[in-house]
Amino acid sequence: QQAASQAPRPPSTEGRSALVAMSVTVPPEVQRQLGEATMLYAYRDFQKAMAMLLEVVRLCPRLPHPYETLGLIYEEEGHKKKALQLYLMAANLSRRDAAQWRRLAVLATEVGEAEQALFCLGKTLALTPDDVDSLWEQARLHTQLGQHRKAAAGLASLLQHRPHDAHVVRQLAISYTELGAADRAIELLSHVTASLTKESPPAAAASSSAAGGAADERRAGGGVGGGGGGGSE
């Protein structure tokens, strides 16, 4: 029972990997310390783990793993802002990973660090420029910070991917209005309305055709029924 109570139970990382791929040469002694620190972390001996991880940072400051693990410890202890700073250091040192930057943007937003969230989203979009969710979140944060010109630029880019998304059109029109360009907002709304109107006739024609076909079937059914009735008489 005592052995079971001492079994390692790594804390939740909320989607972040506890390990970051090593991209630098690590001396054997540092590898040993890193492995021991990781085990201490797994057994939740955070104080000793932190002391050893800080020593690893001193010896190999460009190694991302200790920053990541220190961030996990701080997050486990409820210090999300400190954790974010350490995760950012790890992300800057590790491989190009759009998903990692996107997760950090979410965490930065959670702790109220909008500027850092925008930084992370910028990194995400540099790697995956067609990520519409990141484009939308970036524009939302720019709007929140009153950066309407940047918000408008992002929304205009997003509109190319979602030309008929009412939320994007509405927010872009608001951004134009905030910039004192009400004429551009009106032009945008008119253009979108016109494009939707152009698409409506084929849909209406298809609907009309379907309705006409149904009516023909009903008439045909009535004729057959009438003929049958006449025969029975």
More confident of the two residues 182 and 18: 182
Q: Which pLDDT value is given to residue 164?
A: 83
54-61's contacts with Cβ under 8 Å and 24+ in sequence apart are 56/30, 59/27, 59/30, 59/33, 60/24, 60/26, 60/27, 60/30
Tens digits of residue pLDDT in 38-70? 999 999 999 999 999 999 999 999 999 999 999
Query: What is d(CA 55, CA 49) in angstroms, rounded to the nearest whole number?
Result: 10
Four-way CATH pick for 8-95: 3.30.70.141, 3.30.450.40, 1.25.40.10, 3.40.50.150: 1.25.40.10
Q: Please determine whether the domains at 8-95 and 121-200 fall in the same fold group of CATH.
A: yes
* Banded pLDDT at 206 (limits 50, 70, 90): very low
C-alpha Rg value of the chain to the nearest Å:
30
Give start and end residues of each alpha helix (H) in 60-162: 64-76, 80-93, 98-110, 114-127, 132-144, 148-161
What would the 3-class secondary structure string for 139-175 be?
Answer: HHHHHHCCCHHHHHHHHHHHHHHCCCCHHHHHHHHHH
Rounded to two decimals, what is the model's pTM? 0.70
* Banded pLDDT at 4 (limits 50, 70, 90): very low
Domain boundaries, the chain: 8-95, 121-200
* Least confident stretch, 31-35, 101-105, 176-180, 217-221: 217-221
Measuring CA to CA, how many Å separate 195 from each of 157, 160, 181, 192, 198? 18, 14, 21, 5, 5
What kind of fold does domain 121-200 have according to CATH?
A: 1.25.40
Q: Which pLDDT value is given to residue 227?
A: 45
Contact 64, 94 (CB under 8 A): yes
Contact 101, 127 (CB under 8 A): yes
